[in-house]
Amino acid sequence: MRDRTQLYIDGAWVAPQGQGLAEVQNPATEECVGRVPLGGEADVNRAVDAARRAFPAWSQTPSHVRAGYIRALAEQLQKRADEMAALITAELGMPVQWCRMVQVDGPIEGLQSYAELAAHMDEVREVGNSLIVKEAVGVCAFINPWNYPLHQLIGKLAPALAAGCTVVCKPSQDTPLHAFLLADLVHAIGLPAGVFNLVSGPGSKVGEALARHPDVDMVSFTGSTGAGVKVSEAAAPTVKRVCLELGGKSPFLITADADLAAAVRHGVQDVMINSGQTCTALTRMLLPASRYDEAVEIARAEAVALKMGDPLDADSFLGPMCSGGQRRTVLDYLRVGQEEGAQLVCGGAERPAHLERGHYVQPTIFAGVNNQMRIAREEIFGPVLCLIPYADEAEAIAIANDSPFGLSSAVWAGDREDGLRLARQMRAGQCFVNGGAFNYRAPFGGYKQSGNGREWGEQGLHEFVELKAIQL
């Protein structure tokens, strides 16, 4: 049991003013694995006040000193990487074969990159009789998701520290335990009091209080598009900066001359990682009509071969949904898909026979899908893949871009240059060509209802920067 009874505010663990503790459930066993405080508005006020007091000194701290703290945090996380990965597996259910690499090693790389990028804050550009200088935006509130909890927290925290901002973090109620361990690491490196603060609690109270707080200069939110709209509305009266990383319904365009087997297998695996609980998952696979039947069979064979089971089993590719509520949401979409006339190729609502407990949903593939079906237009956030045929390249691009979302996309083509040409036509914040890897030094973010702003890379630093013109 990993119980936490205190919040981290102003450089110390303190008793919350909010009442009660929230249980954190292991989604594989449905057992309680820890409890965290239910913070309230008074705790938010204390944390924001601490961050406001700390901001003048921290923002004026030399960039190389801030970089040193970021490197120290990366080192601490490296030392306790196995512990952090095990904690995230327990609260999220992500299998161990993925958790260390995706949920912990990636954030370590991100911290290291921002330790280098901190020096960009010292750049001064001369334009005519003006000097253009960079300054920290101020006090920042982070409202974090449950699906990639540490990954998304570090994607906000690292550039904020590099820029000279102070922060208040609110983790998801479903997966908050990692944030408390991170606060332990922050305390261990001696980060100045008030620079990092942690307040757990429900989004309706803690998240909303942060978004509308007049002394918060910026809100960075990761989550559903609907929740992002509410955050924006709460933040609007104080005209604070809002950075949103929201939902997706990403297309994967496979060309007629592609290595079909390699492409389809890659696409199935992409969707099933983290049991489909990934905003960038390539959930719409666009296939040439001439090879559609062949692709359906390859996809079916790949999906049924993926092992679903105990996240602690190194052979498990898929674990459970994060919560019972998320499982019910996915099962509702499986019903909708069949009602809409899609063909259930494999998977479905039936619980896997060997898993009597846990929030499991089988890897599911729908064929005969058209892009107007709900399962092709709405983010399901589960292990569900839609196979959509197209007649020619123009139709494929039209289908790919016919979505309210634009977070990610992918192309698999027989020729790399052809793939690059198609990638330039995708209306999305990123595109993966022939299985290209995620890059922590490149910007990440969406078009359309997938959000605004960017995380990671130099552009992620810019989100936390104000530009000042000094006329001479």
Tens-place pLDDT, residues 370-413: 999 999 999 999 999 999 999 999 999 999 999 999 999 999 99
HSE toward the beta carbon, residue 321, CA cutoff 13 A: 21
- Rounded Cα–Cα distance for residues 162 and 114 (Å): 6
3-class SS of residue 441: coil
391-398 long-range contacts, CB within 8 A, separation 24+: 391/289, 393/255, 393/422, 396/253, 396/286, 396/288, 397/253, 397/422, 397/425, 397/426
- Rounded Cα–Cα distance for residues 310 and 318 (Å): 8
Residues making up the chain, counted from first to last: 472
**Mean pLDDT, range 440-461, rounded to an integer:** 96
- Rounded Cα–Cα distance for residues 171 and 381 (Å): 19
**Mean pLDDT, range 437-451, rounded to an integer:** 96
Contacts of 88 (CB under 8 A, 6+ apart): 94, 99, 103, 104, 149, 150, 175, 178
pLDDT score at 204: 87
Fold of 251-440: Aldehyde Dehydrogenase; Chain A, domain 2 (3.40.309)
Fold of 2-246+450-471: Aldehyde Dehydrogenase; Chain A, domain 1 (3.40.605)
**Mean pLDDT, range 267-271, rounded to an integer:** 98
pLDDT in tens, 210-223: 999 999 999 999 99
Q: Among 136-140, 224-228, 300-304, which stretch is predicted with the lowest mean pLDDT?
A: 224-228
pLDDT in tens, 292-340: 999 999 999 999 999 999 999 999 999 999 999 999 999 999 999 999 9
pLDDT class of 19 with cuts at 50, 70, 90? confident
Question: Residue 128 above 80 pLDDT?
Answer: yes
99, 140, 169, 279: the catalytic one is 279
pLDDT class of 274 with cuts at 50, 70, 90? very high
pLDDT class of 51 with cuts at 50, 70, 90? very high
Mean pLDDT over each residue of the chain, to the nearest integer: 97
Bridge-based pairing state of the strands 364-367 and 343-346: antiparallel
Question: Residue 245 above 90 pLDDT?
Answer: yes
Tell me which residue of 103, 92, 84, 80 sits closest to 24, measured CA to CA.
Answer: 92
Q: Which helix (H) or strand (E) holds 447?
A: strand 447-448
pLDDT score at 353: 84
245, 302, 455, 463: the catalytic one is 245
Task: List helix spans (H) across 320-456.
Answer: 324-339, 374-377, 393-401, 416-423
Contacts of 116 (CB under 8 A, 6+ apart): 67
Question: Residue 451 above 80 pLDDT?
Answer: yes
pLDDT score at 454: 96
Cβ 424 vs Cβ 418: under 8 Å: no
Burial of 262 (0-12, 13-18, 19+ CB in 10 A): middle
279 is catalytic: yes
HSE toward the beta carbon, residue 281, CA cutoff 13 A: 26
Contacts of 50 (CB under 8 A, 6+ apart): 9, 10, 11, 193, 194, 197
Kindly list the domain boundaries of the chain, sorted by start residue: 2-246+450-471, 251-440
Question: Residue 1 above 80 pLDDT?
Answer: no
Sequence-ordered strand ranges (E) for 119-255: 125-127, 130-136, 139-143, 166-170, 196-198, 218-222, 241-245, 251-254
pLDDT score at 32: 97
Cβ 247 vs Cβ 450: under 8 Å: yes
- Rounded Cα–Cα distance for residues 380 and 35 (Å): 28
**Mean pLDDT, range 124-140, rounded to an integer:** 98
Question: Residue 239 above 80 pLDDT?
Answer: yes
Question: Residue 135 above 80 pLDDT?
Answer: yes
pLDDT score at 18: 82
**Mean pLDDT, range 267-285, rounded to an integer:** 98
227 or 1, which is more confident: 227
pLDDT in tens, 56-89: 999 999 999 999 999 999 999 999 999 999 999 9
83 is catalytic: no
Percent of the chain residues topping a pLDDT of 70 = 100
Give CA separation, 359 vs 90, 91, 415, in Å: 13, 12, 41
**Mean pLDDT, range 125-133, rounded to an integer:** 98
pLDDT in tens, 350-374: 998 889 999 999 999 999 999 999 9
The b/e string for 174-207 (b: 16+ C-beta within 10 A; e otherwise) is bbbbbbbbbbebbbebebebbbbbbbbbbbebbb
Amino acid making up residue 470: I
